[in-house]
Structure 1
Amino acid sequence: MTETNFSVQGYNLVKLLKRLEDATARLEDVTIYQEGYIQSKFALEKDGKTDVVAGSKPSSGSVSSNASGVTTGNTAGPAGEAVSSSKPAGEANKEENEAVKEFKIFIEQNVDPLVKLSAEIDPTVQKTVEYLSNAFKAQLDFIKAAVQSKKPDFASPAFIEGLTPINENIFSIGELKEENRNSKYFPHLNAISEGSPLFSWIAGPTPVSTITDFKDAAQFWTNRILKEFRSTDPKSVEWVQLFLTLFDNLKAYVKEYHTTGVAWNDASGEDFQTVLNKVSNESSGASAAPSDTTGTPTPGGPPPPPPPPPPSVFESGEQSKQQESGGIGAVFAELNKGENITKSLKKVEKSQQTHKNPDLRVSGTVSDKAAPPPKPKKPSTLKTKKPPRKELSGNKWFIENYEDETEPLVIETKIDESVFIGKCVNTLIQIKGKVNAVTVNETERCSLVLDSSICGVDVIKCFRFGIQVEQSLPQITIDQSDSGSIYLSKDSLQAQIFTSSSTGININTPTGPDGDFVEVPLPEQLIHTFVEGKLQTKIYEHAG
């Protein structure tokens, strides 16, 4: 049989077999090389473990690396002790320490220069940036505790305690901004205030996008700084560059060490509350005594977890035992008793019956049973309460975050201006003058009184709202809203009202006797039918 007989569709099988043999030989060479590399690596790790057992202490300054990229510890510490960083059990701690170390470097290279430059611009700007710096230092303590702890419940008191110092500084930034609205450097304060919620990256699964969102919010004000101070104050231009670089470098750090949220140590970490207390004590004592930067672990291991809380003083010992021995099994056991379930009940004497002894009703006897403790409210973690805002930006009014205002918020508008009302609660807003357009978004129990509008009013995701039109407007659009009342004037009866995904909307028109308002509910039930292949929709009417 000739060699050509082994050809299939233009391929020579003999040549293919030779090429397969060559490829197999190369794979064998690679396998032999990898086996030798792995054996040498295990030998190095074994030597490192021997050094640690012999009494060596790890040191962050005595780590070397060989040509193949295997990290080994072959130098001595201050006391001549051998050092090894190849110990598998310490690998996680090394990563944790590196994350903390890099965050310290981030603060030194990005936050501290911003504080120094702010002092040269204005004392108020300096104080605001100092609050920002304190929030970063509080977040450093949080990260220190997190990398040594198991992930806690975000509704737990320990987690809230860890976030409290950060939130306090964020609130201080907002308060300082509101107190200095007439300041020349108000855009600087606004930029910091809009960007300060970036600390919420530690509570979300996508921290990088969170930082990007708040950078975009702050950039609106940094652009205004560049516009107003570019030719008059070069330091403000440099300040903007430092401030925006802070966001970019923080994103790079988070992307490297906390890609999907804070890097908790679920494998071998301690209780978060215990570690947080330890870190807080170390931070408070850092100013009194220099901290040890050698990374030497404390002898004796970590302290034991705190004891469980004592039982409530309002509960008796018998009740505690009953609760411990209870459960679903005890419930079914009681139900299975049948008629015998009432044998344990005490007979109520006539002297103890309130309907036959009126004196007992006056005395108001209190049961021995302790009332169940109130359910704790779910905390808002890092969802900060933004300060109220009422300002004109360009030709657009912003009215946001007002709650329980006793006096109406009155604004004078021009024909080319628009108004945005968002996230207000229990507030009355009055718009005087003819306005271009009005948007009401995510409000609750809010009322709007306006003279007239060119484009109309848009109501989006509002609950229990009220709108009163004094003059005229072309249309009102209502989307995803509930329980609203709209009062039209005689001049606005021709207005068009568009609704979608809304319920409980009532229109009041001055068509009654003596100009009284007549309430007309908007239809919510519709009938859809196909007539000759075409969809027809009619309002469903209840015949009473």
Structure 2
Amino acid sequence: MADFQNLVQRLEKVTIQLEDITAKGGGGTSHEAGQDKYVQWFDFLLEGPVSLYVKLSHEIGSDVAHHADMVKALFDTERALLEMASNSQKPSDVELPLILKPLSNGMEQVQAFREKQRSSKFFNHLSAVSESISALAWVTMAPKPGPYVKEMTDAAMFYTNRVLKDYKDKDKKHIEWVKSLLAMWTKLQDYIKEHHTTGLVWSKTGRPHRAACIPPGPPPPPPPPPCTFSQQPQVESTSSHSALLAEINQGQRITSGLKHVSNDMKTHKNPALRQSPAAPNLAGPKPYGSKVVSPPAASNKSASAKKPAPLLELSGKKWRVEHYENNNNLLIDQTELKQVVYIFNCNDCTVQVKGKINSITVDSCKKVALIFENVVGIVEVINSKSLQLQVTGMVPTISINKTDGCQVYLNKESLGCEIISAKSSEMNISIPHGSDLKEYPVPEQFKTVWMGSKFVTEPTEIAG
């Protein structure tokens, strides 16, 4: 607690310094001086929110601490990029990807670490970071880098809500960790709005930047030599061919070498040879026996049938998301109000739907997380297992049918949503409760009694 108070005091000092810089940074400052200032502001971001996130991550320890060190290294890499931009002119389109490569490689490593630690008890923590780490790619976004960071932050909300739910009555340290992670991205948005509103600002009068040249790769292997044949095989082939033709051209003499077969040796004229047990080697086939047809080998359709290829496409007015497995980056963002989304036969996936659409259907899926903004019709779940739904905007109705295990996360705007369920179990609804979430179970059992004129049914926790 003492360390936490010290960090709060440090944040207050940083805030005072920022206000002082703002007060002194009047109209007399040049454009280049303003660019130097935006590097200083980024340092305050590192010393404040980023530092607090790293500290709380190390208090949790294990995979969370290691992940935080990777994130801190990425922030340092971005800080070096900002310093370069403040002193250098914008590089060419060919050079820019080379400059950004360390940043993109680092983000890939953060996401890859999450994938390798699926069995970790802190998988939700790792996923929250992994889903939002792409926010650091704002330096490539124009003209709206700030809203891009907001989208990446929203992508992490599904997993931060799960952390809040799992630890709300166990360890408040994890609650503070979630707040620090979200605050880090929120402050990054504020920083971008202040200094890079329409994109990363490069120096207009600084030195031209030249990215390091990449050495050319090894030359392609030479083509194989033309196929040649030695003279000797040609001679042998020619001589064998000639000998064969000579034998064929013998005419009637071609049968002179065949052995004569007498009538007593012919099975069709000597029935005893067909069934003779004393001469099994001479026994021939039964000419009038019933034909034995061996049944064809049973084909293993399940083994031979190919799995359907994953599909994510817009067909008319329907977005189809089908047959995906182990994919947490399924995104539908080019949406219109008249469109619908149909998610079918997906396993262990996360699907995010942006914008306002007509309806969403999840059919025959398992371990699928659905994050969506605004739906004007209905969100329907059917024949599925272990589903999680999170609404960040508004939805009037959610229908759950023939589904085992469905966790619904509502925000303040969607508290008026109607939940309709049938033939389903293990359903829970979580709603905001202050800075936390409160979970309510949906009844699965009901009691029906005759009240004299009609039957009355009400939910019950224990049947009988």
- Structure 1-normalised TM-score? 0.37
Greater fraction of residues in strand: 2
What is the TM-score when the length of structure 2 is the normalising length? 0.43
